[in-house]
A and B are shown apart, each in its own frame.
Chain A
C-alpha cells in the first residue's frame, strides 16, 4: 500500500486525501442504504430495482461486487441511473476445485442467493466470458434459481455461436477431445501420478463435473451452457468477437452505459487462438474414437509379451540377455569391465523402467494444457464505460486474445514485444477498474499490459477473484507442474499501481460456517472517488 500512496501523492495532496470519505478496512461496513431493502420490496419497475445506495461525493453510482467463491469468477455489476434505479450485470458465475481439490470453498450457492436478493430477480445482462467450469459452474449448480430470473440479454464469445461453422466445428471437436482426455486420464487412475492428476483437472475444468445426476452424460458445463443459450425465456444470446457493435439492453443504454468488445479475435484470426497447436498437439493426440478405448490398447498379441527375467529354453535365441541392460547398470561394470550378472541386469532393468515411466505423461499433459489455453483465449473481453468511468473485464484471456487488440496484430507475437496500439494504450491508461485476468495467473495480463497500466500514474481498482494454493507452484519450464495461480510477481506489479483486492484476502461466513481468508490482508487504500467495502461473502467497489 505504501507504494501506491507514493504514486498517488503526485496527484492528491495530503489535505485532500484527508477530506475524502475513508472506508473502514478489514471490517464489514454497512452500505449507506442496506441492500436488504430491495429484497423485501421487489421493484415494480421492470427495468431496474429501486435505490440500493446513494453515491457518495466523487462517486457516480457504480458498484462492482466480487463474490468470494473460491477459485472462480462471479461478478455482479450494478449501475445507478440518474433517478437512482439500479441495473444489474452478471459477469460469469463459476468455481472450480482445481488441482488441490480445495478451490471450491462452497460459497457459490450463497453468493447466487445474494445476487437474486440484490437484483430482485431481474438482471439486465448476463455475460459468460468462456466455457470453463470456474466461470460457469454456478449457472449449472443453481440452474433452477437462474431459470427464475428475468434476463435482458445474454452475451457469449463468438466461439459459442451455433451459426459460425468454424467455431461450431471446433467447439465440438474441443469438447470431444476434452472428454477423451479426461476419460484417458481417469482410466489411468490406478497408477495416478501428480501429473496425470493435474491434467485430469484441466480437462474437468473444460467439461465440468460429472457427479451431478442430470449432468452425468455431458458434464455440468453442458448444463450451464444449455441454460445460458436456451434457458432464459425469449432471450437468444448474442455472440461477439472483437470489434463487434454490441447490442446493449435499452435499460442499460438509458442508464448511460456503453460497451466495447475487445476480444476474442474474430474466428478468422485463428492463429491467435493457438488453433494450430491444438490441431497438432491435441486433436490427434488420442485414439480417434474419442473415448471408449481412450485407455490403453494392445499393439501386439499376448504371444509377443515376454518376461525379461525368463532364462532361455533349449535352442531359444530370442530372449533378453543380461548384456542388454548394461547401460543401466550402476557402477564400474557398466563399461565393458566384467560381465553383467543376472542380479545386475535385474536392478538395471528397474532403473530403465522407472526412467521411461517418468517420461510418459509429458506429452499428454502438454496436450491438456494447450486445450486449456485455447478455451481461455475464447474469453469475451468487454470494456464498459459508464459516465466516463471505464471498467475492463477480460475473463481468462491469454496471450493471443490480448495480442489481437493490444498489439493490433493478426499473427501471434509470443514475445508480446510489439508496440502497444494507440487505441489500446488509451484504454489501458484510462481504466478505473480492471478485473484481473485468469485469477491472477501469469499467463494472462501480459507484462507489457501491466506496465502500460502503470504508466498513467492514474490509480485504479484491480479486482482479482482467486483462491491461493489451488494450483501448484509455478514452474513454467516443466508443464508437469501446475501453473502458479495467482502469480506473485504479477500481483505485486498490479498492487504497485492500483488498489488490488483479492477475493481470498477476506474471511467469509457461509451458513454459519466461517471460512478463513487464504491470504489475509486488509483492504488497500482505494483511489480517489472509490470506496472498497467488505460484505459477508463479497467485496464491493463503489465508483
Chain B
C-alpha cells in the first residue's frame, strides 16, 4: 500500500516543489511503513473504518510535499534536521517503570478520574481512568471504546468530523491520517456540563529501546449544543534523544458550547513536535485556548479556528518559553466568516540563549463577517543577545464594518525594573527570574486548572536559569 508514495511521483506532479528536498525524499514512505499494526481482536467495523481513513490519507499524501523554507508559511522553520532521522514506531508494549512514574507524575490531580494516557500512540489502560463523568459523556481511546461496542454509537460523529476540520493539503495532518491507528475521543452530549477537566496525556518513550521513535496522536473533541468542557492535552517525553510527535487535534463545538482547551507541549529537549489543532465553531460557541510551548528541539504548532456561524467567540492565548538552540514556531489562523464574531489573541514568547521563536497570526475577516471584533497582540521578551523572534501579524479583511486591532512588541528585561527590584535587596538573577515570571504569568494565570497553573508558574520561576538543553 505504502509504496504508492514515492519521491518520484511527487516530482512529476509538483514540479514547483522540486527543490530543495525533492518531494520529501521518502520521508512519508518510510513512516508509512512504520504504522502501528492493528490489534488482532479489533472490532471489524472500526478496522474497516480505520483502513478507509488511512487509505484516504495515503492517497492524499502522495500528492503532497513536505514543507520547505521556500513556502512562506515555513520560511523560518527548516525541517531538514527532521528528515535526517528515520523514525520507527515503538511496538514494544513493555513500559519502563521510571518512564511510567514520569508519566503518572504529569497527571493532574483535578483529572485523577478523567484522564487517558497514550504512550507511543497506544492506549495504556492501567494509566488511564475515566469515571464518574456525567451521563452520556464518552471519553477514551476509540480502539478501547470499540471493545465495549461504542464504535457504532460514535460512527456518525466520526464520519462527520474526523479529518473534516484539518486542511486536506496539510502535509503533517495528512501523514497523521495515513497512519491512523487510534483516536482519543471526547464526546459531550447536548447540554452537559463536565465540571472536571479531561486530560489526554500523550507520551513518547523514545530511545528506551535504542531507536528514534515516532508517535502520531490523534484527538477528536465533539461538544454538542450548550455543553461545556475543559480539556488539557499534555505532550511529554523524557528522552534527551530525538523522537518525533506528529499530533492532530480536531474540535467541533455545537451551538452555544464552550471549551477551555489547554495544550502543554513539554516534549524532550531533542524532540521534534508538529501539532495541528483545528477548531470549528457553531453559532454562539466559545473557544478559549492556552497553548504552552516549553519543550522540543524543534516544534511547530498550527492552530486553525473557523468561525462557522454568527456570534462566535475565540480567545487564543499562547506562551512559548524556550532556551538553548530550540526553535518554536506557532502559526495560528482565525477565520471570521459570519457577522458578530469576536476574537482575542495574546501570544507571548520568552526566548533565551540562541533559541528562536516564530509567531505568525493570521486573522481573516470574510466579506460577510460584518461587525467582527478582533484583537491580536504579540509580545516577546528576549533574554540574550543571540536569541531571536520573528513575529508577524497577518490581517486579511474583506468586510467594511469591523474592528481589528493588532500589535507586536519585542523587548528585553527593562533595566529600570531590574534596578527597582535590586534596590530592594533582590539579586540580579532572582530579579530577572521574577520579571520573566511576571511576563509569563499573564498567560499562565488564565489557565482554569489550579495545579497546572502552579506547576507552570513554579517552572518558570525556578527553572529560568537552568533550562536544560
A interacts with B: no
**B residues whose Cβ falls under 8 Å from a Cβ of A:** none
**A residues whose Cβ falls under 8 Å from a Cβ of B:** none
